[in-house]
């Protein structure tokens, strides 16, 4: 216990004596909140669709931990229809907004399920951002006190991989994805700054674990708070088009 934080250790069995295979635990203490994903087993290698190329797409749980709306990346990933992508089987995964566990889940699925392509999506700014570079750094020091992940962890000036390079470049065909998105009326932008938070963590590991064997990278979607049917369909289509452009390139 310090002036900045109180750490409480509680057995999961005491909090959730009868939890399911996948459970979200929400904890509140005054103005503080945490949202933790609990899995009994690793995600199944559940690819849907037909075709030789195996594609993993990922989104994120709501952020911040006490956020009142869905995360646009999870909406997009769950709204896309694998049957609309030619030549590919698609696995969809929603990740926890946690520094260590988000990237670890992607690494685990790459090792167990052997996707040829991984496209990760996150909640971004005002536009679709096609990310070129991931950085070996965890830092939200631009915000006073830093930005905690959904488990309450704050990191500043810490590397993702002590032995890794300072930067890793996307393995996705961003120009082809841009052309395909423009063709459906979207206005994507190229970006070299994915932040130094969980999205950057995931992109760094996507690229690291697919280098020399597949394609991987990250796309930020516009920050959105309300999701009617048309909005869900739009973001699902964006994911489908990004996958198709990557498979066809």
CATH of the domain at 63: 3.40.630.20
Domain that holds residue 135: 44-248
The per-residue pLDDT for 10 is: 80
Asked whether residue 104 is assigned to any structural domain, the reply reads: yes
Place of tokens 């423009």: 182
The per-residue pLDDT for 151 is: 87
Asked whether residue 25 is assigned to any structural domain, the reply reads: no
Asked whether residue 7 is assigned to any structural domain, the reply reads: no
Of 70, 132, 209, 220, catalytic: 220
Asked whether residue 66 is assigned to any structural domain, the reply reads: yes
What three-state secondary structure class fits 174? helix
Asked whether residue 177 is assigned to any structural domain, the reply reads: yes
Our CA angle for 23, 28, 32, nearest 5°, is: 125
**Is 132 among the catalytic positions?**
no
Is the pLDDT at 40 greater than 70? The verdict is yes
Of 105, 178, 199, 240, catalytic: 199
DSSP string, 26-88: EEEETTEEEEEEEESSPPP---BS-SSEEEEEEEE--SSTT-SS--HHHHHHHH--GGGSTTE
Question: For residue 138, what are the β-bridge partners?
Answer: 158
Q: What is the pLDDT of residues 6-24, one digit of tens each?
A: 777 888 788 777 777 888 8
Q: How far apart are CA 58 and CA 66, in angstroms?
A: 21
Contacts 24+ apart (CB under 8 A), 228-233: 231/75, 232/75, 232/79, 233/79
The per-residue pLDDT for 31 is: 76
The per-residue pLDDT for 4 is: 67
Task: Name the residue among 74, 172, 169 with its Cα closest to residue 123.
Answer: 74
The per-residue pLDDT for 3 is: 65
Is residue 51 exposed (0-12), middle (13-18) or buried (19+ Cβ within 10 Å)? middle
Q: How far apart are CA 106 and CA 202, in angstroms?
A: 7
Asked whether residue 242 is assigned to any structural domain, the reply reads: yes
Arithmetic mean of pLDDT, 198-223: 96
Of 70, 131, 178, 240, catalytic: 131
Q: What is the pLDDT of residues 113-172, one digit of tens each?
A: 999 999 999 999 999 999 999 999 999 988 888 889 998 889 999 999 999 999 999 999
Asked whether residue 170 is assigned to any structural domain, the reply reads: yes
Q: What is the pLDDT of residues 58-108, one digit of tens each?
A: 999 998 878 889 999 999 999 999 999 999 999 999 999 999 899 999 999
Asked whether residue 137 is assigned to any structural domain, the reply reads: yes
Q: How far apart are CA 25 and CA 4, in angstroms?
A: 23
Q: Which two tokens stand for residue 110?
A: 């790459």
**Is 220 among the catalytic positions?**
yes
**Is 45 among the catalytic positions?**
no
The per-residue pLDDT for 1 is: 56
Arithmetic mean of pLDDT, 179-205: 97
Helix ranges, 93-210 (H): 99-113, 174-183, 198-210
The total number of structural domains that make up the chain: 1
Is residue 42 exposed (0-12), middle (13-18) or buried (19+ Cβ within 10 Å)? exposed
Is the pLDDT at 41 greater than 90? The verdict is no
Is the pLDDT at 5 greater than 90? The verdict is no
Q: Between 4 and 159, where is the model more confident?
A: 159
């Amino acid at each position: 216990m310090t002036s900045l934080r109180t750490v409480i250790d509680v057995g999961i069995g005491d909090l959730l004596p009868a939890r399911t295979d996948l459970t979200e635990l929400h904890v509140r203490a005054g103005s503080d909140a945490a949202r933790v994903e609990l899995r009994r087993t690793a995600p199944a290698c559940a690819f849907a669709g037909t075709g030789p190329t195996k594609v993993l797409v990922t989104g994120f749980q709501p952020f911040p931990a006490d956020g009142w709306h869905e995360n646009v990346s999870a909406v997009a990933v769950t709204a896309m229809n694998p049957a609309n992508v030619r030549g590919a089987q698609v696995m969809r995964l929603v990740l926890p907004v946690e520094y260590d566990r988000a990237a670890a889940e992607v690494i685990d699925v790459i090792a167990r399920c052997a996707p040829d392509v991984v496209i990760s999506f996150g909640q971004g700014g005002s536009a679709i951002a096609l990310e070129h570079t991931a950085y070996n750094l965890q830092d939200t020091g631009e915000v006073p006190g830093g930005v905690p992940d959904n488990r309450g962890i704050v990191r500043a000036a810490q590397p993702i991989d002590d032995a890794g390079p300072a930067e890793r470049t996307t393995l996705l065909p961003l120009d082809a994805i841009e052309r395909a998105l423009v063709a459906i009326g979207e206005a994507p932008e190229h970006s070299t700054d994915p932040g130094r938070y969980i999205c950057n963590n995931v992109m760094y590991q996507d690229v690291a674990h697919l280098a020399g064997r597949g394609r991987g990278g990250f796309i930020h979607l516009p920050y959105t708070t309300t999701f009617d049917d048309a909005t869900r369909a739009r973001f699902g289509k964006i994911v489908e088009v990004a996958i198709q452009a990557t498979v066809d390139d």
